[in-house]
Structure 1
Amino acid sequence: MTSTSAPHLRILLVDDQPLIRTGFRTILESEPGLEVVGEASNGAEALALAPQLDPDVICMDVQMPVMDGIEATRQLVDSGVGGSILILTTFDRDDFLFQTLQAGASGFLLKTAEAEELIRAVQVLGSGEALLDPQVTRRVLARFSTPGAPAPAQRPDDGSRTSQPTVASQHSASGEATPEATGEAPVTEPPSGMPVPPGGALTGRESEILLLLARGWSNAEIAANLVVGEATVKTHVSNVLMKLGARDRIHAVIWAYENGLVGA
């Protein structure tokens, strides 16, 4: 159960089926801190309502009359609406997944998910993070990875970092001590050949964190891996997103794959 200190999140439901919207409203408003502030039956209605209601999260169906969820997502993002968009669909299809992510959606969840998963997804997006089911994430990474490149390293399941070297240690094959081992300041130069993002070149530490984001690690896991504070990681992630011009972590990872930083 969410604590009383949890932020209040405003939600806009967009689905052409009234019963679906009613079900989602019932589920979401059963959780303290979640409020459905409006409903729309198609993408065009969502475009009209979103600027008025200023939702934190927009739960968007894909297939709807008048305007589908993919086009509505694209136009909402282009218009500068601040709410994160969670795609909810009964269709587990790659074309829907990739089109909605490229349109600017921050999350993708099947309607077959449990009620608790819907609540968690809205809370995650409302906090400014992005969310994909792990299986969906693997499909995204496979789609955007360099052809023929090895798959990115997987996060250890046992919580140990001994079998998973940090990015810094991977760049220190000569055996020299890494900044984390010596307590020295992290490197400030990006790896050789690193593409320059629209907002300026990433530092070495920002590049490290982008690579760990691409492995699916959370801020807490990155902090433990690099032996820094979680607040420091959040600052670096914000800088990465700003420099990449990325809406959220998912789109930062897509940028990394499209530009060959991961799997090269």
Structure 2
Amino acid sequence: MSDARPRVLVVDDHPLFRFGLCTVLAAEPSVELVGEAATGAEAIATARELTPDVVVMDVHLPDMTGIDAARAIVGERIDTGVLVLTMFNDSESVFAAMRAGARGYLLKGSGQDEIVRAVHAVGRGEAIFGPDIATRVLGFFNAGPELAGPVFPELTAREREVLALIANGVSNPGIASKLSLSPKTVRNHVSSIFTKLHVADRAQAIVRARKAGLGDGG
């Protein structure tokens, strides 16, 4: 993008927040608001249609994570910059967003001026993070690569444990025994894993897990 106003797409599933953010950006003369979306699928389709310079994206969306949506958008058009604007400030979300191609990460509650500055920075191809996030990122790089984020950051630590056992061919009763969980809890974890990884069954989950290095196939 040149010095022209960045063309911005806003993606958030909360109507009031999305309306407020769109109102702020629409009133900002240095920014051109071109569209909005409430789901990951809408975001991908709208970004494909409108080719915005910057997509301001929440992590939590009803149909997929904003991280997955960001990965798809950047994968289709590398020039599109993604600015994550979310309430999630955990390390897993931050580094998953970076790996997906996001250039910026701010927390909801950031000031209007800070958001506008971040939009411009991301539009110019720069990386920008809120103060708390920047400290976390710097700490990560200072600590070294051995602290790299886990595979499948969208899963909880317990779900990754369950997935690793699934990848090793352990049955639900076996997982319940190994992790001292009830059969119902294991079923709930397995269902959540399938949903988050967008797989239909155990076989597909095993393939994805082993490709990521989990289980005997790692």
Assess same fold via TM > 0.5: yes
In structure 2, C-alpha distance between the alignment counterparts of 1:80 and 1:148, rounded to whole Å? 28
Matched-pair contact (CA < 8 Å) for 1:13–1:60: yes
Matched-pair contact (CA < 8 Å) for 1:51–1:81: no
Structure 1 pair 33–148 and aligned structure 2 pair: CA distance change class (3 A)? closer
Q: Give the RMSD, CA atoms, in angstroms.
A: 2.1
**Per-residue deviation at 1:145?**
3.6
CA displacement, residues 117-176 of structure 1 (integer Å, 9 cap, x when unaligned): 111111111122121124322311322345499xxxxxxxxxxxxxxxxxxxxxxxxxxx
Partner of 2:50: 53
The one of 63, 67, 71 equivalent to 1:70 is: 67
Runs ≥4 in structure 1, deviation > 4 angstroms? 146-149
**Per-residue deviation at 1:111?**
0.8
In structure 1, C-alpha distance between the alignment counterparts of 2:74 and 2:119, rounded to whole Å? 18
Structure 1 unaligned blocks of 5 or more: 150-264
CA displacement, residues 171-222 of structure 1 (integer Å, 9 cap, x when unaligned): xxxxxxxxxxxxxxxxxxxxxxxxxxxxxxxxxxxxxxxxxxxxxxxxxxxx
Partner of 1:166: none
Equivalent residue runs for 1:123-202 within 5 Å: 123-147=120-144
Partner of 1:117: 114
CA displacement, residues 21-52 of structure 1 (integer Å, 9 cap, x when unaligned): 11111111221131211111111111111111
Question: What's the secondary structure of 1:129's corresponding residue?
Answer: coil
- Which structure has the highest helix share of the two? 2
Report sequence identity in percent: 44
Matched-pair contact (CA < 8 Å) for 1:50–1:81: no
The one of 24, 33, 57 equivalent to 2:30 is: 33
Partner of 1:100: 97
CA displacement, residues 24-81 of structure 1 (integer Å, 9 cap, x when unaligned): 1111122113121111111111111111101010000001111210111111122234
Matched-pair contact (CA < 8 Å) for 2:107–2:130: no
Structure 2 unaligned blocks of 5 or more: 147-218
TM-score between the two structures when normalised by the length of structure 2:
0.62
Matched-pair contact (CA < 8 Å) for 2:56–2:83: yes
